Every structure is written in C-alpha cells, then in structure tokens.
Amino acid sequence: MPCELNGKVAIVTGASSGIGRRFASVLYDAGATVVAVARRLERLEELAAATGDRMIAVQCDVSVESDREQMVYAVKERFGAVDVLVNNAGQTNVAPAEEESVETFRSILEVNLVAVFHLSQLAGRIMLEQGSGAIVNIGSMMGALASSPIKEAAYCASKGGVANLTRELSAQWASRGVRVNSIAPGWFATEMTHVLWEDESSDRWVKRNTPVGRAGKEGELDEVLLLLAGPGGSFIHGQTIVVDGGWSIH
C-alpha cells in the first residue's frame, strides 16, 4: 500500500471493532499517525500494541460533548495538527417506530449525527487554520433508503442527516482547503450487525437482495477510504460514495 499519508495525523472514532478498527489500520499502513478513539480502551490498547508506535489509543465517549472536546484538544496539543477525521462511531436500535422511545431516538442521533457535526466542527477549525484537511463521514446506504423490513427509524434518520451534513460542510469549507465526503456502506459483517448473520433466513435475505449475491468483505472499503482521505481525492467534495454491492440500484 503506498504511503500517501506519511506525516499526517488521523483521528478514527469507533476504532475498537469492526469497520473502525479496520480503517485505523488502513490509515496506519498508509503512513499516518492514527489516533484510535472509542469507549473500550482495552481494545484500543490491544490494537495499538499489535500495530506500532504510530497507533495511539484514546478513550472517548463520542456521545459526551466534553469528551469530544477534550479528545480533539489533546490531539492538537500533542501533534500540532489534525489532517484526517474519520467519523465512524455509530449505534442503532431495532424497534417499530411506534414503540421506539424519544429518549432512544435522541441518543442514536447524538452519536450518529450530533457527534459527527461537533467533531467535524472541532477538527474543522484546526483544518481551516491549517488550510488543509479531509473529513470522511461514515454514513450508510440507509441514509437514502428505508431499512424496512428491519425497523430502524432513528438510524435511517441519522444517516440521512449525515449525507446532507456532508454536503453542507463541504459547501462551506471546500474553498478553504477542507474536503468533506462520506462513505455509505451496504451490508458488511460487523459487531453491530452480527445478529443478522447468525440467522439463516436473514443471511439468505441479504444475499437474495444484493445484486452481487453476498455481503461486503473485509477490505472492500479500504480504497474508498484512502481515496477520500488522501491526495487522490483532491477534487472530490461533498460526495457520498455508496459501497453496497448494488443493493440501492433497485
């Protein structure tokens, strides 16, 4: 993998498992110093120990405003820059809309949308001062589609918000050197979706309704991440790249 991010400082939220853990490793292999952020510090420390001294474990609950502020401030104080922010942390709740509590809906939006805005704002201020930077928001194909028969009103609402927030931040910041884009994955096997793969009928449903006939594989988001985070994406602004095996073409 070419070291396109040598000397750059990248923050990856939700890096203790799944796609976030993978993203942290991909950016590290591309040469970046990576600040891996999540609530589960022991998992982050395990990742850092297995990776190398440019992988930095930082405990942070992105649902807490003060945690977000302290984390970004600490990164700036230690490294003097923030070059890449990957807003990957996310949550979902499966429940019929008529039964989902307002409290639960609000908590999902806090992690999936409010934290994305706030972290983008905090890192964006540093990037604007630098005159350069790349923000990659991790949305979902469900930001443009209904998830039914899986009932996820809060998740769909939050990911729709991420797509349009990406466009708006890009419109405001592109002329000042900051790129803001989004990746919208389809079905990938992660810790958050493990229940789906444990059920044979659900597994068949995904395969039947995905034109390529399968879920996404580990590594199939790597090059999109590097494109949007690295110099190869210098003329890509405000876009959401859908990586879903064709699910959304129906």
Of 23, 155, 188, 247, which residue is the catalytic one?
Answer: 155
Does the pLDDT of residue 134 top 70, yes or no? Answer: yes
Other CB atoms within a 10 A radius of the CB of residue 110 amount to 17
Please confirm, yes or no, whether 155 is among the known catalytic residues: yes
Which pLDDT score is estimated for 201?
87
Determine whether 172 is exposed, middle or buried from the number of CB atoms within 10 Å of its CB (0-12, 13-18, 19+).
Answer: middle
Mean pLDDT score of the chain, rounded to an integer? 95
pLDDT for residue 192: 67
- Tens of pLDDT along 215-239? 999 999 999 999 999 999 999 999 9
Read off the tokens for 25.
């490793």
**Is residue 181 predicted with pLDDT exceeding 90?**
yes
What is d(CA 160, CA 174) in angstroms, rounded to the nearest whole number?
21
What is the spatial distance between Cα 235 and Cα 217, in angstroms, rounded to a whole number?
A: 28
Residue 23 has a pLDDT of 98
Angle at 29 between CA 159 and CA 165, to 5 degrees: 20
80 closest CA partner among 24, 9, 178: 9
Domains plus CATH for the chain? Answer: 9-185+221-243 (3.40.50.720)
Residue 2 has pLDDT above 70, yes or no: no
Lowest mean pLDDT among 41-50, 171-180, 185-194: 185-194
> For residue 172, what pLDDT band results from cuts at 50, 70 and 90?
very high
Q: Is the pTM of this model over 0.85?
A: yes
Q: Determine how β-strand 133-138 pairs with β-strand 178-185.
A: parallel
Question: Above 70 in pLDDT, residue 44?
Answer: yes
Whether 197 has a pLDDT exceeding 70, the answer reads no
How many CB atoms are closer than 10 A to CB 125? 14
The whole-number pLDDT of residue 120 equals 98
